Amino acid sequence: MILNAANYPATLVDLSYLNFRSEQACYYQFSPEQLTAFALEYNEGELTANGVLSVDTGAFKGRSPKDRFIVEDELTRDRVHWGDINIAFTETAFQALYQKMINYLSQRPFFLRDAYAGAETRSQLSLKVITETAYQQLFAYNLFIRPVGAVDALPQWTIIAAPGFKADPKVDGTRQANFSIINFSAKVILIGGTGYTGEIKKAVFSVLNFLLPLQGTLPMHCAANVGTNGDTAIFFGLSGTGKTTLSADPDRRLIGDDEHGWSKYGVFNFEGGCYAKTVNLSEQKEPQIYAAIKEGALLENICFYDDTRIVDYDNISKTENTRVSYPLHFIKNSVSRSTADAPKNIFFLTCDAFGVLPPVAKLDTQQALYYFLSGYTAKVAGTEQGVNEPQATFSACFGKAFLPLHPQVYASLLKNKLTQTNINIWLVNTGWVGGAYGTGGRIKLAYTRAIIKAALSGELNHANYGLLETFNLSIPTTCSGVPAQLLNPVTSWKNPADYWIKAKELKALFDANYRQLAIV
């Protein structure tokens, strides 16, 4: 690879503050067209039949949570909730590894981008994103907020991502060759040894989760959209529960699909783009996402139909975590400013493979805090090696892996928001009905969409409700577009006695998990 190749002229940028030599030649602020062309020329990926760059991210096709570290120093020592999620890294080891990465990149071409995180200017972070590969830089272009006009020479935060740089665990203090390390004092993120782009996105999310609570802003792992009447809705949920799918609604405008803040001024997107799962994607089920996969988007770890460059979204032989990133404006009815008023409706999405939770329940404030701190979903048999039957998964605040602070901090912020405003809070099961996985079936997407529509329209505010014991959930007896027998999970099971046995088992898992957390 030639640094000053005629087709890709390098730019001299002053990066001396990062310990580069005073003026470093790099590929600065390349356009999506330039980045795609570069990636193709240097064999980083290939084009699909409709002109979208497709790449394989290498050995890592998902995040590696056990290799995420936070530098322990005076700023973080007494604030970070240390443990198996937030793993401490020494300042000395960070500085040594940082200089090694700078030396590594100084000897090869790299890409540089100015960008922002946070659509609300009061909470916005300026970023410099340095990547070794063109496709990582395209991801950064798609996912972060793109500047308009001049940018500050010195950013608030710097991200350095080099998949070709491998750490030596015995020398560098990492667990293995790959790593993601956040230094809050230096305001630097180091990512090495992995080509999975999601590490870049989630590292910045972790930074915001540390900083924003100090301002009274609640950072949220959620999607958000707004109706024609200005009514905002937010959708919490772990991967696979449907927050991206359900928030992409042709009748409502998309604010964002994954990361938001809730300040005293309203809801705002952290990002300038979307990072959607593509497994089983179809134009019929998810037309907006399907249409957004066009030139400028970036597909990761997908497969093609034999002897074609047509994407086979049902093929998960590489990974179930197939992904696409694209700018927010690729969704036609997105909110250009990425901000909106405080929510009128909050949805907690869960994919309950035990078939115990109802398709929809209305929650009071205390129940909302319980389910927020629980962050429940279930792994389904066959999706991971060794998983032979449904397994309950709890991720506090629907984002435990990205929370530097104790979950109680975020739950307290949510409690304050809920007590100040009149908000409808809904628990929505996008998983199994009529029985557990293997006996029942997954609820139809059309039924879940009908539930969301009924909640947003106000229909469910005026419905009759019954009480589902064990979980003490209020469940509607009717909902337009949904068979009545499905709304009560007891009546949807062939044998109600089997339901109650499974319900008590799941409730015991909920309570055991909740006891590990401080009650808000």
What's the CA gap between 21 and 42, in Å, rounded? 26
Q: How many CB atoms lie within 10 A of CB 61?
A: 19
pLDDT value of residue 150? 74
List b or e across 466-483, with b for residues whose CB sees 16 or more CB atoms inside 10 angstroms: eebebbebbbbeebeebe
What's the CA gap between 203 and 134, in Å, rounded? 19
294 carries an active-site annotation: no
Catalytic residue among 113, 323, 344, 415: 323
Q: How many separate helices (H) and strands (E) can be counted in the chain?
A: 13, 31
Structure tokens given for 73: 């120093």
pLDDT value of residue 1? 39
Mean pLDDT by 10 residues, the chain (520 residues): 62 91 89 96 96 97 96 98 97 98 94 97 95 98 92 88 98 98 98 98 98 97 97 94 93 97 97 96 95 98 94 95 97 94 97 97 97 92 50 95 97 94 95 93 96 98 96 97 96 95 96 79
pLDDT value of residue 384? 43
Ordered DSSP codes for 310-325: -EETT--SS-S--EEE
Ordered DSSP codes for 430-492: -SEESSSTTTSEEPPHHHHHHHHHHHHHTGGGGS-EEEETTTTEEEES--TTS-HHHHSHHHH
511 carries an active-site annotation: no
What's the CA gap between 203 and 183, in Å, rounded? 11
Centroid of chain to Cα 279:
16
- Rounded to 5 degrees, φ, ψ at 158 are -125, 135
pLDDT value of residue 22? 75
202 carries an active-site annotation: yes
221 carries an active-site annotation: yes
Q: Which residue, among 426, 465, 248, has the nearest Cα to 348 in the 3D structure? A: 426
Catalytic residue among 202, 252, 344, 362: 202
What's the CA gap between 273 and 323, in Å, rounded? 13
Beta bridge partners of 300: 55, 323
Catalytic residue among 61, 63, 362, 400: 63
Catalytic residue among 128, 243, 260, 502: 243
pLDDT value of residue 307? 86
Q: Between vectors from CA 367 to CA 362 and to CA 371, what angle results, nearest 5°?
A: 100
If residue 32 lies in a helix (H) or strand (E), which one and from where to where?
A: helix 32-41
243 carries an active-site annotation: yes
Fold of 11-29+62-214: Phosphoenolpyruvate Carboxykinase; domain 1 (3.40.449)
pLDDT value of residue 386? 44
What's the CA gap between 487 and 497, in Å, rounded? 18
336 carries an active-site annotation: no
Catalytic residue among 106, 239, 393, 412: 239
Catalytic residue among 48, 158, 244, 319: 244
Q: How many CB atoms lie within 10 A of CB 197?
A: 28
What's the CA gap between 143 and 271, in Å, rounded? 6
Catalytic residue among 249, 257, 258, 352: 258
Question: What does the DSSP 8-state code read for residue 133?
Answer: S
**CATH dotted code for 342-514:** 3.90.228.20
Assess contact for 232 and 266: CB atoms under 8 A.
yes
pLDDT value of residue 390? 77
- Rounded to 5 degrees, φ, ψ at 499 are -60, -50
pLDDT value of residue 387? 46
Centroid of chain to Cα 393:
17
Catalytic residue among 61, 221, 253, 417: 221
Q: Between vectors from CA 329 to CA 324 and to CA 331, what angle results, nearest 5°?
A: 65
pLDDT value of residue 420? 79
The residues of the chain that CATH labels 3.40.449.10 are 11-29+62-214
The residues of the chain that CATH labels 3.90.228.20 are 342-514
